[in-house]
Structure 1
Amino acid sequence: MKDNMENCPHCNTNLQGELIPKEQQESYGATHFTRKIGIYDLLKDQTVKWKCPDCGDEWDR
């Protein structure tokens, strides 16, 4: 199972969130939630960027 270990490419803060309850991990395909924020484009109907909750910088998906 994937552990979602990821750091912000700008400030290097850990973006791994809280532990997903064991019985739900298979549905998510991961062991932890993520802290990164998805920037959604309504016209494209998809997430186009990610945003760091700590430094506020954005990067392409």
Structure 2
Amino acid sequence: MNDSKEYCPYCNAALQGEPIPKELQKAYGTSHFTRKIGITSVKVDSIHKWQCPDCQNKWDRVYQLK
């Protein structure tokens, strides 16, 4: 699995979480959990924004992380 390094577009904090156990990586489709907080609403039945757990800033889901 590829490394899933991501960074907050505001404070540049690393958003890559703990490694996923090797035997579960295929099911998750990635090598690490994420630290990003997904924000949903009643109107939208999916994540529409992300939030950084460090600086608390939010950005649209379509924003491409570095």
TM-score bracket for this pair, using the shorter chain length: over 0.9
Instruction: Tell me the distance in 2 between the aligned counterparts of 1:2 and 1:60.
Output: 24
**Where does residue 56 of structure 1 map in the other structure?**
56
Q: Does 1:10 align with 2:10?
A: yes
TM-score (norm. length: structure 2): 0.88
Local SS of the residue matching 2:24:
helix
Instruction: Tell me the distance in 1 between the aligned counterparts of 2:40 and 2:4.
Output: 20
CA contact (8 A) 1:2 1:29 kept: no
**Where does residue 33 of structure 1 map in the other structure?**
33
Task: Give the aligned length.
Answer: 61
Percent identical across equivalent pairs? 59
**Where does residue 45 of structure 1 map in the other structure?**
45
Give the 4+ runs in structure 1 shifted more than 3 A: none
1:2 CA displacement: 2.8
Q: Which has the higher strand share?
A: 1
Segments of 5+ residues of structure 2 without an aligned counterpart are 62-66
1:44 CA displacement: 1.4
Q: What is the root-mean-square deviation of aligned Cα atoms in Å?
A: 0.7
State the AA in 1 paired with 2:30.
A
Segments of 5+ residues of structure 1 without an aligned counterpart are none
